[in-house]
Amino acid sequence: MALIVVDVEADGPIPHKYSMVCFGAVVVEPSLAKTFYGQTRPVSDEYVEQALAVSGFSRAEHLMFDEPGEVMRRFEQWLRENANGAAVFISDNLAFDWQWINYYFHYFTGGNPFGFSGRRIGDLYAGLEKDYFAASKWKKFRRTRHTHDPVDDAKGNAEALLKIREMGLKFPF
């Protein structure tokens, strides 16, 4: 089993009507050396300019990205090679990131290798601290700056998760 931190950038709030722009993933282990980066061309003509701008890409650039099915198949292969069996999806904003990866896997490959569940870092930290209101305080443990480059953001989140592990949260490498 491997914990995989995932971060997604998209050009709108929901899959299908809008498109995933890019995403990054990192295996949670001390080196944080196992990473994946994918860029997917739009699946829709609609987009929210402000949402797309967060990713740092223009619409013209986004239109030149790889075919989504190809990217998701590469990601699935990367998970097989790096997850040591079961892959556990972990994210800063599980409700947002999960919907994109789940939709794209099901639509383009027929199934999601993460299964049907994931974990939110803030909830794990709040549980460790036994304080519901601590859910946003874990971000202080990131070392990599939050840049909206999805690999950078996933790495920062994985760094925080490793710190939370040092504090007593038990999970495997």
Q: What is the per-residue pLDDT for 69?
A: 98
* Residues with Cβ within 8 Å of residue 110, at least 6 apart in sequence: none
Which residues are marked as active site? Answer: 148
What angle separates helix 121-129 from helix 150-166, to the nearest 10 degrees?
A: 20
CA distance 30 to 75: 21
Tell me, what amino acid is at 66? D
Q: What is the per-residue pLDDT for 55?
A: 96
Q: Is the pTM of this model over 0.95?
A: yes
* Residues with Cβ within 8 Å of residue 170, at least 6 apart in sequence: none
For the chain, percent of residues with pLDDT exceeding 90: 98
Mean pLDDT of 82-93: 94
The residue whose two tokens read 């989504």 is 68
- Report residue 160's pLDDT band, with 50, 70 and 90 as the boundaries: very high
Q: Domain residue spans in the chain?
A: 2-166
Q: What is the per-residue pLDDT for 50?
A: 97
Domain 2-166 coded CATH 3.40.190.10:
no
CA distance 2 to 168: 18
**Residue among 83, 22, 89, 93 at smallest CA distance from 56:** 22
- Report residue 84's pLDDT band, with 50, 70 and 90 as the boundaries: confident
